[in-house]
Amino acid sequence: METELSQRLGIEHPIFGFTPFPAVAAAISKAGGLGVLGAVRYGAVDDLARDLDWLDAHTGGRPYGLDVVMPAKKVDGVSVADIEAMIPEGHRQFVRDTLAQHAVPELPPGEESGWRITGWMEQVARSQLDVAFDHPVKLFANALGSPPPDVTQRAHDNGALVAALAGSARHARRHQEAGIDIVVAQGYEAGGHTGEITTMVLTPEVVAAVAPLPVLAAGGIGSGEQIAAGLALGAQGVWLGSIWLTTREAELNSPALTRRLLAAGSGDTVRSRALTGKPARQLRTRWTEAWDDPASPDPLPMPLQGLLVAEAVSRIQKYEVEPLLGTPVGQIVGRLNSERPVQAVFDDLVRGFERAITRVNRIAGREGGRPR
């Protein structure tokens, strides 16, 4: 399983694994793919620096990447406190009422929310990059379109490639014009922020729109056969996220959430603005249902919604309140049926790819890749 992009990055297989967990990222890289650590959950740059140091020591010299979230346009002089002051009291009361309905306990005195998405703030993302550029990061990915031009230039100056997610061919062309190296075509099936075009339709559209720029197929991919389909559509690799959530290296620290993921089917997710303010695919819960009820207040725009619900999410997670307990995850959740090491998942992906290629060769009247 080799493409021009995998050769360029020095990886065995063009499998790019996005994860918030350093141990998962390291295992993906060691298995022959490229682990990409999500930075958005790091409110303190010291924590990110610690985990990047850990990755350096545990990837065996294999390349890895970092995913940040920052807008293309810079806004100066706006603090987290300034933005939190914009949250209406009615929305705060709705959160309090929803938690009270489900008897969610308060956090212990003095304990701060452990779920803060200040990583959505540009100044936080820039401080994360200041740390990251001190490490041998080979790929920087941005989940909110093209990063600011100075960030792209800085990455290139440090010998790193830059990727950006796109939900349409129009977005992809903007990335190409901005000097991005790789476009991640993320379809409707994907977990987290995603658009409305399915992966099967989106991938070839983006490939055609930005050729010869390399494209990664993303969204609903969790088997080697699906990887083969993505490459057949013109992608030079795949971007996988949800498939790693139930690996043994994942640090969910929630038996209840793991049980929910293992029990969920492909129809048990929903695109909702309840978590961040932008449509994001996640497990369907009483929390998403409460926010999506027409009688409820509309979710706030990003980043207000994320700041509004941060403490609530921490309380739900800490006390494992199952009716409200969810996480961003794609429709591929239906394939998450057991807890396995990353290497086992990776081996299955490679075997599935080989099965698909063998099947296609047989259909085409070829054996060993050559016509009979």
CA dihedral 220, 223, 226, 231 (to 10 degrees): 110
Checking if the pLDDT of 300 tops 90, the result is: yes
What is the pLDDT at residue 120?
Answer: 58
Checking if the pLDDT of 74 tops 60, the result is: no
Checking if the pLDDT of 283 tops 70, the result is: yes
Q: What percent of the chain has pLDDT over 70?
A: 93
- The residue whose two tokens read 């996640």 is 282
Q: What percent of the chain has pLDDT over 90?
A: 82
What is the pLDDT at residue 110?
Answer: 81
Average pLDDT, the chain: 92
The HSE-up count of residue 270 (CA atoms within 13 Å, CB side) is 15
Rounded to the nearest 10 degrees, the angle between the axes of helix 22-31 and helix 45-58 is: 30
The total number of residues shown for the chain amounts to 372
DSSP output for 107-151: PPTTPPPS---GGGSHHHHHHHHHHHTTTT--EEEESSSSPPHHH
Distances (CA, A) of 9 to 4, 115, 139, 230: 9, 33, 9, 19
Checking if the pLDDT of 146 tops 80, the result is: yes
Tell me the mean pLDDT in the region 45-60: 96
